[in-house]
Structures are given as C-alpha cells and as structure tokens.
Amino acid sequence: MARRIFEEEHEMFRDSVRSFLKNEIAPHSERWREQGIVDREAFRKAGEQGLLLMWADEEYGGAGMQDFRYEQIFIEENCRYGDVGFFGWLHSRLVGPYIGELGTDEQKARWLPDCVSGEKILAVAITEPGAGSDVAALKTRAEDKGDHFLLNGSKTYISNGINADLVVVVARTDPDKRHGLSLFVVERGMDGFERGRNLKKLGLKSQDTAELFFNNVKLPKENLLGELHRGFYHTMHFLAEERLIVAVEFLANAEAAFAVTMDFVQERKAFGQTVGDFQNTRFKMADLRTDLDVAQAYVDHCVMAHNEGKLSAEDAAKAKLYTSELQGRVTDECLQLHGGAGYMDEYPISRMYADARISRIYAGTSEIMREIIARSIGLDPRGKR
C-alpha cells in the first residue's frame, strides 16, 4: 500500500535507518536474546547516528525534529530489520519527553545531552506489584524532608530496568489525595536504589525487564520533575503519545509476521504444490493484508493528527486497542500457516507469536482501552451513580 504521509526526505531517512539496523543491531539479536539484555553499545551507536531523542533541541545535541514520522520510521524498521527488544523508542519518545517538556533548563542541560548520545539510558517506573493500570493506587512514597525527598517503595515490570541510568519514578507525595503523586528522576548509583531480577518473560527475550527497589533513597529537590503533587496529570498528558508509539510498533510487528509468512508459503511445498497455492492460504493472506492496510491507514491518520497537536486520548486508545488485537490475530494465523514448523524456535514466527502476547497488556490493557472508548461515546457508568 502506498503511504502518502511520507515525503522524499522521509524515505531517504528510512533507507539510512534500515542500513544502520541491518549492520549494527540485527547481527547481535540472537546473542541479546540469549543473554536477556541488549548491549548498552546499541544505544551509543544509535546516538552516534542521531537516532535518539531526535526531537531534542540542537543545544542538547538533538536534531530538533518534531515530526513524529521520523520516529515512526525508526520503530517500523526496527521491528522488521533490527531487534524488537531494542527499546530505543521507549528511551526517546516515551521517557525522554518527560524531561524535555517538564524539566527545568538546568535539568535539561544536565540530562538531555547524555540521553541524546546514548551514554545514559532512560526508563520510567510506574507499575508496582499491587498497582498496574490504576496509577492512582500507587504506594511508592516520597516524603518531603525539607532539603530533600526520601523515596521508599518498589516497582516491577520496568522496561530498560537493568540498563537504565535515569529512571522517572512516579511516587506518592500527598497521602491524603488519591491523585497526590509526583515525578522524580532517580539516578544510577544513588544510595538505596537497587535493582532486582532481570525478569524472565514469555517473549521479548532481549528486553531487560526488571524489579526496582527504593530504600530510603535521598533525592535532591532538583530531581523533582514537573510540579509537586501533579505527577498523575503529567503522566496522563503523555499517554496519548505512548499509545500511538506502541500502535506503530504493534502494527509493524504484525507486518513483519506477514512478511515472513509470505516467504514461507511461497517456498514450502505440500501435496505437490506450494502452501501458498491452496485457496485457504490465499484467502487468509488476502484477509490479513486487508486488515493490515486498513489499520495502517488509521495509524498514519493518527500520526498526522499528532503532528498537528490534535490526537485525542480516545483516538490513541482506539489505535492501541485495534493494533494490539490485530497483532495477536495476525501472528496466530501466520503461525498456523507455518504448520508444525511454526512451533519451532528456529522459525521467526514462533518468537513473534510469543512477543505479540504482551501487546494487549502494556501501555494499558485492551480492557482499559475499551473503557476509555466506551466513556467517549457516552457509556460511562459513573454518570449514573
């Protein structure tokens, strides 16, 4: 499908990104998968190519590119030619903007250059053992001690958790208010900041996902990010972009599954013909191609709306819901078309199938997305109480 949202400079950028990923990321993918973590060097190499925090101003080493299409291209190409566990997008577009938009001039000067270069890796810590999608139920606390804050609590399922040098932590600062949360930047090496296990997962084997513990971590006042007690609202502000980011990722992963299956059904033979010659295969692939193209049109529409500052939370939720469910459906159908080979680890589709399962959970579960969409169309039970 011709995608009309891209111009010549975007396609030139795509070519350079693809070359970088094939040469610097893909060759290490199997080793990263086995060791359960991406080498830090991957971030530094991406930084050298100007691929991290592309939106950052030139004074911090960035390119000042606000056009989300460049990030979209990087995500799409990484899913196809890089490594899905290389969460450069999380570093650049999910966590980086917390500092870029909420940080003071001093904070931006202090942290952004090393994030742009890849010397420092970013993570955001929201989820806790007893609180996931319900951000307002978080228990990690930061007490104001006059000249510093004292942070106590724990977080889990934190992406980039082992590699991260700077972690944006959501903590409760007003125990009397449900939304009395604030954001803090916790830095590698701070006393009391400890990492737990690099958690073993069903999929995304090369992505380091960790437990984090904060035991009387003494945080300088200048590590408060944004306004005190406004952390809940700051976090909500970034959710639309986060869901657009993952929608791009999920759809790109589904496209990758489709591509490897196209190759497989045209090569594998059964009963004297290729698997692709059977009507069932042709019809299933036709259905998947249609679903992918329709989803792509909507995601591209959301990208352009986001570039114009007009992407709504509801539309972002629709994009996240549809693409995550589609990724699951596409990888399942594609594995089925591989037959027994699809269950073997040596075939990419088996890994794609495992990788896809988390998509309906992180960045807000499908159930939460449906709740947001239902309320947007007037089906809100809270209004009947």
Interval 48-93: pLDDT, tens: 999 999 999 999 999 999 999 999 999 999 999 999 999 999 999 9
Is residue 193 a contact partner of residue 166, using CB atoms and an 8 Å limit? no
**Final residue of a structural domain among 195, 229, 263:** 229
Give the 3-state secondary structure of residue 134.
Answer: coil
Residue 3 lies in a domain: no
Query: Do residues 221 and 188 share a domain?
Result: yes
Helices (H), the chain: 8-20, 29-35, 40-48, 68-81, 88-89, 96-102, 105-117, 231-267, 279-307, 313-338, 348-356, 366-376
What local confidence, expressed as pLDDT, does residue 137 receive? Answer: 82
Query: Is 242 an annotated catalytic residue?
Result: yes
Query: Do residues 262 and 352 share a domain?
Result: yes
> What global pTM score does this model have?
0.95
Q: Of how many residues is the chain composed?
A: 385
What local confidence, expressed as pLDDT, does residue 357 receive? Answer: 98
CATH (domain of 98):
1.10.540.10
**Final residue of a structural domain among 229, 251, 272:** 229
Query: Do residues 259 and 368 share a domain?
Result: yes
Query: Among 77, 128, 211, 242, which one carries the catalytic annotation?
Result: 242
CATH (domain of 338):
1.20.140.10
Residue 30 lies in a domain: yes
Query: Do residues 192 and 259 share a domain?
Result: no
Query: Do residues 192 and 317 share a domain?
Result: no
Is residue 203 a contact partner of residue 351, using CB atoms and an 8 Å limit? yes
Counting as low any pLDDT under 70, the low residues of the chain are 132-133, 136, 384-385
Residue 172's domain spans which residues? Answer: 123-229
Is residue 40 a contact partner of residue 164, using CB atoms and an 8 Å limit? no
Query: Do residues 237 and 335 share a domain?
Result: yes
**Final residue of a structural domain among 229, 261, 295:** 229
Interval 172-188: pLDDT, tens: 999 989 899 999 999 99
What local confidence, expressed as pLDDT, does residue 67 receive? Answer: 98
Task: Please tell me the number of Cα atoms within 13 Å of 59 on its side-chain side.
Answer: 6
Domain tally, the chain: 3
The DSSP-derived string for 156-198 is: EEEETTTT-SEEEEEEES-TTSTT-EEEEEEETT-TTEEEEEE
Give the 3-state secondary structure of residue 122.
Answer: strand
What local confidence, expressed as pLDDT, does residue 385 receive? Answer: 52
Residue 2 lies in a domain: no
Give the phi and the psi of residue 109 in degrees, each rounded to 5.
-65, -30
In angstroms, the CA 345 to CA 354 distance is 10
Query: Do residues 239 and 375 share a domain?
Result: yes
In angstroms, the CA 18 to CA 384 distance is 52
